[in-house]
Structure 1
Amino acid sequence: MLSCGIVGLPLCGKSTVFNVITRAGAEVKPYAGGKTDPNKAVVSVPDARFDWLVSLFSPKKETPASVEFVDLAGLSQGASKGAGLGNAFLSFVENADALVHVVRAFANDDVPHPLDSLDPLRDWQTVEMELIFRDLAVIENRLGRLAGKKKLQPGEEQELPLLERCQAHLMEERPLREMVLTAEERALLRGFAFVTLKPELVVVNLDDSQREENVPGLADLRQLGRERNFEVIGVYGSMEMEMADLSAEDQAAFMADLAIDEPGRNRLIAGAYRLLGLISFFTVGPDEVRAWTLHDGEKAVDAAGTIHSDLARGFIRAEIAHYDDFAAHEGSKAKMREKGLLKLEGKDYTVRDGDIIEIRFNV
């Protein structure tokens, strides 16, 4: 299962955001980087389409899509040189498939900011630079080893100029995720577990007295996100963690007061799912309604193999009904078939987010 590592400076509210997302009840206290073991939780992906299909079929079993979140210890300034948890923290980051980067906007006199002032843009840049320094150290170490060889192997001859390109890019204080890389180049880099190559979602942790437009530096961070293609989501972390215990009516009243249409939890999980490049397809029936996870761009035969290896091995055709058409016709395949909306596709059909799939196979 793919996982999102939650990163940020100490005392930015990462564990609070983790609890908002997971409702796991992880301990939240004002420690400054002394904890090493990460909190982990697998959460269901909120999806109104899945909920509607469950209400339609009333199945014996319902299985939503899921994703794992890992609450990592705070990254101290200077971690790349051993400060704070140093390499212990960075080794946890290496294992994540994507990063949820929490930056602090809330004020709390009982929990002083480690850099003595609130500045979301500066905090984002601080952590980003530590991750860049880590990747630079990995490259410098590898280039030193290659330089000591009398003769490079064929794979190393390709690796050398690619690493030099990566090094030059990082020296411009730009993460590797912003580089244009071919699939072959990404394969060459995979073994290095570069942390700045991982996709990133930025979460601004607010308190309920704030409005986003009045937070100093937040507009600049959002503008940077638009320029550099990362999403910025604002969340009222502490309040939303407490709100989870309220009734649906009280939750709605709280959200109305804050002028938000959707709980931060839902926005964060959906954002993380997109960040990982994932889509959902469905299988439906009276026994089970299930949301399955694929990488965007994968094919019908990949969907079959996700369900069971026998389905991929004996694949004949995939019957495809897209959710939008299925819902518009109240779940009637007969009506869809009349209008040509029910399709039979081969192995190379590219699965769309929201496809309802039935695999025809013979083993």
Structure 2
Amino acid sequence: MLRCGIVGLPLSGKTTVFNVITRAGAEVKAYAGGKTDPNRAMVAVPDERFDRLVHLFQPKKVSPAVMEFVDLAGLSRGAGKGAGLGNAFLSFVGDADALVHVVRCFDNPDVPHPEESVDPLRDWQIVEMELIFRDLGVIENRLSRLGAKKRLLPEEEQEKVLLERCQAHLMEERPLRELAFSPEEERSVRGFAFVTRKPELVVLNLDETQTDETRIPGWKDMEKLVSERGLGLVRIYGRMEMDMADLAPEEQEEFMKDLGVVESGRNRLIARAYGLLGLISFFTTGSDEVKAWTLRKGDTALAAAGTIHSDLARGFIRAQVVSYEDFCAHGESLPRCREAGVLRLEGRDYLVADGDMIEIRFNV
């Protein structure tokens, strides 16, 4: 199961964002008293296409795509060098597939900022540097062990050269996600679980007064940062959206309209995190079940078959495929799609597209 680790400075609102994502209301409490064990929750990925298919087929069972979010303890200065809860925290970060980095933009005298002022760019840089220090520590430990050997094997020599290149890049205060690797190098560094290689989504945690960009401190700097670094960016009204969790959908919509908030940040955050991991969804439909299945972008019809069941991959013959868009364009009718030639048969090497509706033909 793919998971996103929620990181950020203490009191940045990470647990609030976690509660918004998981619709937990105030159920999950913020970290305190040296707690390091993360809060975890499986979350359905919002998808209007899936909702429409459920409405059309009226199945006995519905199974949306899901992903795991993990709320990690606040990352303070020095954590990357083992200070405070650093070692415990960073061990959990290493298990994440992507990072959701919550940056505080709101000012609240009742919740003092650990750096004594609100500065989103500075806060992002603090956490980023701690992650860089963590990866540098991993590299230094491995290079030290290699250096203690009298003679290195050829593959160890190659590893040493690669790690020294990674070390030099990190020393320039640049994350490893910005360093290009060959396929062979990718395999070599994978085992180190470098945290700065993980894709990152920056979440600006706002209050209800910050609906206008001019009210977000350092907005232009953050916008420039994510553009230059190739990061994702989402704005979320953490406390407000958590407080709205118990309201009916129509009440939530009216409340947000009164505040001038066009769209909830929750769905956009989950969808962006899903895309950040390079994931797509394909659908299987019927009266028994409508299900959204998760694949990596670029996976084949054979991989889709194996995702459903190993027997389907073993006995794969053909995949019957129609895109969701074509399905809708032809009256939401599979017979009409067949007549129009958009319901087609594909072989095992077909690259599955996001939103494909698939039925696997197989023989075991």
- Cα distance in 2 for residues equivalent to 1:146 and 1:163: 11
Which stretch of structure 1 is more off in the superposition, 105-114 or 207-216? 207-216
Name the residue aligned to 1:226.
Answer: 227
CA 1:208/1:315 → structure 2, altered by over 3 Å: closer, same or farther? same
Matched, 1:256 2:257: yes
> How far is the alpha carbon of 1:182 from its aligned partner?
2.3
CA 1:306/1:30 → structure 2, altered by over 3 Å: closer, same or farther? closer
- Cα distance in 2 for residues equivalent to 1:233 and 1:21: 13
1:89-136: CA deviations, max 9, x gaps? 110101111100001011111110000000000000000000001101
TM-score where L is the length of structure 2: 0.97
Name the residue aligned to 1:270.
Answer: 271
Name the residue aligned to 2:343.
Answer: 342
1:234-272: CA deviations, max 9, x gaps? 110000001111122221122223433332110111011
Matched, 1:126 2:139: no
> How far is the alpha carbon of 1:216 from its aligned partner?
1.8
> How far is the alpha carbon of 1:153 from its aligned partner?
2.1
Which runs of no fewer than 5 residues in structure 2 stay unpaired? Answer: none
- Cα distance in 1 for residues equivalent to 2:307 and 2:28: 35
- Cα distance in 2 for residues equivalent to 1:261 and 1:278: 26
Name the residue aligned to 2:182.
Answer: 182
Matched, 1:332 2:333: yes
SS for the counterpart of 1:67 is strand
Amino acid at match of 1:170: L
Name the residue aligned to 1:3.
Answer: 3
> How far is the alpha carbon of 1:208 from its aligned partner?
0.6
> How far is the alpha carbon of 1:159 from its aligned partner?
1.1
- Cα distance in 2 for residues equivalent to 1:28 and 1:256: 28
1:170-203: CA deviations, max 9, x gaps? 1111100111122221110111110001110010
State how 1:193-232 maps to structure 2 within 5 Å.
Answer: 193-210=193-210, 211-232=212-233
> How far is the alpha carbon of 1:16 from its aligned partner?
0.1
State how 1:1-363 maps to structure 2 within 5 Å.
Answer: 1-25=1-25, 26-29=27-30, 31=32, 34-210=34-210, 211-363=212-364
SS for the counterpart of 2:177 is helix
Count of residues in Structure 1 that have an aligned counterpart in Structure 2 = 362
Which runs of no fewer than 5 residues in structure 1 stay unpaired? Answer: none
- Cα distance in 2 for residues equivalent to 1:260 and 1:295: 33
Identity %: 69
CA contact (8 A) 1:30 1:111 kept: no
SS for the counterpart of 2:246 is coil
Amino acid at match of 1:177: R
Which stretch of structure 1 is more off in the superposition, 335-344 or 228-237? 335-344
SS for the counterpart of 2:191 is helix
Which stretch of structure 1 is more off in the superposition, 5-14 or 79-88? 79-88
Amino acid at match of 1:322: S
1:191-235: CA deviations, max 9, x gaps? 111000111001011111123332221220111101110011111
1:294-325: CA deviations, max 9, x gaps? 01110000000000000000000001100000
- Cα distance in 1 for residues equivalent to 2:23 and 2:347: 41
- Cα distance in 2 for residues equivalent to 1:253 and 1:149: 67
- Cα distance in 2 for residues equivalent to 1:29 and 1:280: 33
CA contact (8 A) 2:16 2:242 kept: yes
1:50-88: CA deviations, max 9, x gaps? 000001100010100000000000001111223220101
Kindly report the root-mean-square deviation, in angstroms, between the aligned alpha carbons of the 2 structures. 1.3
- Cα distance in 2 for residues equivalent to 1:274 and 1:95: 19
Amino acid at match of 2:321: I
- Cα distance in 2 for residues equivalent to 1:131 and 1:276: 19
SS for the counterpart of 1:192 is coil
- Cα distance in 1 for residues equivalent to 2:261 and 2:156: 52
- Cα distance in 1 for residues equivalent to 2:305 and 2:22: 29
- Cα distance in 2 for residues equivalent to 1:254 and 1:296: 37
SS for the counterpart of 2:294 is strand
CA contact (8 A) 1:44 1:65 kept: yes
- Cα distance in 2 for residues equivalent to 1:348 and 1:30: 47
> How far is the alpha carbon of 1:158 from its aligned partner?
2.1
SS for the counterpart of 1:316 is strand
Amino acid at match of 2:152: L
Which stretch of structure 1 is more off in the superposition, 304-313 or 183-192? 183-192
> How far is the alpha carbon of 1:29 from its aligned partner?
4.3
TM-score where L is the length of structure 1: 0.97
- Cα distance in 2 for residues equivalent to 1:192 and 1:242: 40
SS for the counterpart of 1:244 is helix
CA 1:154/1:341 → structure 2, altered by over 3 Å: closer, same or farther? same
CA contact (8 A) 2:209 2:215 kept: no
Amino acid at match of 1:49: R
CA contact (8 A) 2:24 2:245 kept: no
- Cα distance in 1 for residues equivalent to 2:349 and 2:157: 35
CA contact (8 A) 1:213 1:219 kept: no
